[in-house]
A and B are shown apart, each in its own frame.
Chain A
Amino acid sequence: MTSAPMVLSQARLPRWAPALVAVVSLALAGLPALLSGWGPVRWVFAAVAVFLVAMPLWSRLVEGRRAAVDRLVTGLIHTAFGLAVTPLVWLLYVVVRSGAPAINGEFLSVSMLNVIGAEQGGIFHALIGTLLITLAAAVISVPIGILTAVYLVEYGGRSRIARTITFLVDVMTGIPSIVAGLFALALLMLLFGPAFRAGIGGSIALSLLMIPTVVRSSEEMMRLVPDDLREASYALGVPKWRTITRVVLPTSLAGLVTGVVLAISRVIGETAPLLVVAGATDGVNTNLFDGRMTTLPVFIYSQYASSTPVGYQRAWGGALVLIALVMVLNLVARVIGRIFAPARGR
């Protein structure tokens, strides 16, 4: 039997083709932009539209249908990516531009105690408050969250209790943060009387918000651990609890850490519940169990609410520090994840 030769190669556009089309699109869209005086935003949008039409068309003519669809979808995905990161980059730019001038040694190392009028003042007390309250919230919610996930994945199966817990956790995810704050306040008032205010109340409120996130992410990560590994461990005569602590948790550790850090990042910026339970103060308070405590978001809120130029300045500075804090936290989590990720390769 004779057969036609196999065709494996096909005409391809050169590597620089997309770049060329992008430049031409910008130029084409620039013409009406110049004529009718569009701003840069409209100009870029028009250029993207031209690109999304021109690139697949050219590809269709030279490379065929499948490549053209590929070019089109690639273009759409890049556009979506651009749309998604624009607000983020913009926000970072604005915060850095407005906040950077406020940052200096004094700003980071003094509190607002006895600061009058347009004196500089600082965020030291709020920094301490944020770190302590968030740390205590993590200390409360990480064990509860991870142990709940262990129960759901390793013991619960599809039992009624497990399904109920999953349902309740999902409901908890939707609790408005102010409600969590009011709950913590009510709890503290029941226990210690109506005038009691303490940082730990803020931690309780935040842990209510953190626990569902930690449970959900840890559950996902632990379900990813293949059953083969659990079986390998059982077959060596290892009891179930040791299999969990020595095989399942270490194997999913990187994911657990990421989940916890995401949960912390989510609550570190909470304002309302902390305003309710932990209140605000101008001085440094390092005792979680007694007295009011300011956190960065609350500081930002109250400074902005003061509506003075120096207040705005401090608020932007505080916002920048808060964002930097979250960023550092994420970097730390990445490093930890990298260190503990199951080793592969040679």
Chain B
Amino acid sequence: MAKSIDVSDLHIYYGDFLAVEGVNLTVKSRSVTAFIGPSGCGKSTMLRSLNRMHEVIPGARVEGKIVVDGQSLYDPSVDPVAVRRQIGMVFQRPNPFPTMSIYDNVLAGSRLNARRLKRSEADAIVESSLRRANLWSEVKDRLGRPGMGLSGGQQQRLCIARAIAVEPEVLLMDEPCSALDPISTSAIEDLIHELKTEYTIVIVTHNMQQAARVSDDTAFFNLKAAGQPGRLVEFNPTRKMFSTPDEPSTEAYISGRFG
């Protein structure tokens, strides 16, 4: 069911610009893997290459290999649409659909694919997704209102609800709590713990405590120097990473003695 992801020798480009260089790591199934590192080091880029969202940007391409559940992700025979149905994503910036109500935003995965749902089924999906994203109590009386009318943090939770409503096998989350208060953050972390029993989760975060709290493995990315491509510095179980990291630069970054 849940998928593991093997990344080997991955180079990621924007046109001629090499953004991320030589990444090797394995995301274990039914676990949470955290990506940490300074701004601009390529965490989002790396994350987006895991469900073939990277190639949506004109000129962007990938070299190397990503194997999901025994299949090479970038094999020519692989349909990116099918990949994205299995590997869902929450973006760094909230992006609800402006033409849709809150209700329809949660169901967007089915609605946009013209999948027919019974009214009772749809209601159930909306309620459970919104509850899990800790948004239900705030919006249950205005589900018909536009999704754009929510606050930034509410929109972010709406996008989380939208991503989990389609029940992907793997969920990629790019700083899902960056605009959230501690209460919602803790609800999202509970959600991650809950989802972990069935799904594989990769989360990008700038919050060290969060990485330590929710993840099983942690990948630390860094730039060699300004203007150089980002690279994976260290990839280890989170417990080891936060107690006895292999690299001095990891230790420096985690303890805040960096930059």
Contacts and interface: CB of A to CB of B under 8 A. Distances in A.
A84 interface: no
B91 A238 contact: no
B245 to A, nearest CB: 32
A267 B166 CA distance: 48
B91 A231 contact: yes
A296 B39 CA distance: 64
B58 interface: yes
Interface stretch (B4-12, B130-138, B143-151, B224-232): B143-151
A232 B113 contact: no
B38 interface: no
Contacts of B91: 228, 231-232, 235
A342 B112 contact: no
Interface in A295-346: 340, 342-346
A243 B99 CA distance: 13
Interface of A: 157, 226-239, 242-243, 246-247, 250-251, 340, 342-346
B19 interface: no
B22 interface: no
Interface in B91-147: 91, 93, 95-99, 101, 108-109, 111-114, 142, 145-146
B179 interface: no
Interface string B68-101: 0000000000001110111011010101111101
B100 to A, nearest CB: 8
Contact of A231 (B80, B95, B108, B163): B95
Residue of B108, B159, B162 contacting most chain A CB atoms (<10 Å): B108
Contacts, number: 94
Interface in B41-85: 51, 53, 56, 58, 80-82, 84-85
Contacts of A345: 146, 148-149
Residue of A229, A230, A243, A246 contacting most chain B CB atoms (<10 Å): A246
The number of chain B residues touching the other chain, given as a range, is 35 or more
Contacts of B98: 229, 251, 342-344
B96 to A, nearest CB: 8
A157 B58 contact: yes
B172 to A, nearest CB: 9
Contact of B145 (A157, A340, A346): A346
Nearest to A236: B109
A228 B95 contact: yes
Interface of B: 51, 53, 56, 58, 80-82, 84-86, 88-89, 91, 93, 95-99, 101, 108-109, 111-114, 142, 145-146, 148-149, 159, 162-163, 166
B99 A342 contact: yes
Classify the secondary structure of A's interface with B. Answer: helix
A238 B53 contact: no
A231 B112 contact: no
A201 B227 CA distance: 62
B97 A232 contact: yes
Contact of B81 (A227, A237, A344): A237
A231 B88 CA distance: 11
26 contacts: A231-B53, A232-B108, A234-B53, A234-B56, A234-B81, A234-B84, A235-B84, A235-B88, A235-B89, A236-B84, A236-B162, A236-B166, A237-B86, A237-B109, A237-B166, A238-B109, A242-B113, A242-B114, A247-B97, A340-B99, A342-B146, A343-B99, A343-B101, A343-B145, A343-B149, A346-B142
A239 B96 CA distance: 18
A246 B114 CA distance: 10
A342 B147 CA distance: 10
Contact of B84 (A227, A237, A250): A237
A157 B15 CA distance: 14
Residue of A229, A236, A238, A243 contacting most chain B CB atoms (<10 Å): A236
Given A229-B95, A237-B82, A342-B99, 13 more contacts: A230-B56, A232-B91, A232-B162, A234-B53, A235-B53, A235-B91, A236-B84, A236-B88, A236-B112, A247-B112, A343-B145, A344-B148, A345-B149
B14 to A, nearest CB: 14
A239 B114 CA distance: 11
Residue of B81, B91, B109, B146 contacting most chain A CB atoms (<10 Å): B81
B53 A344 contact: no
A345 to B, nearest CB: 5
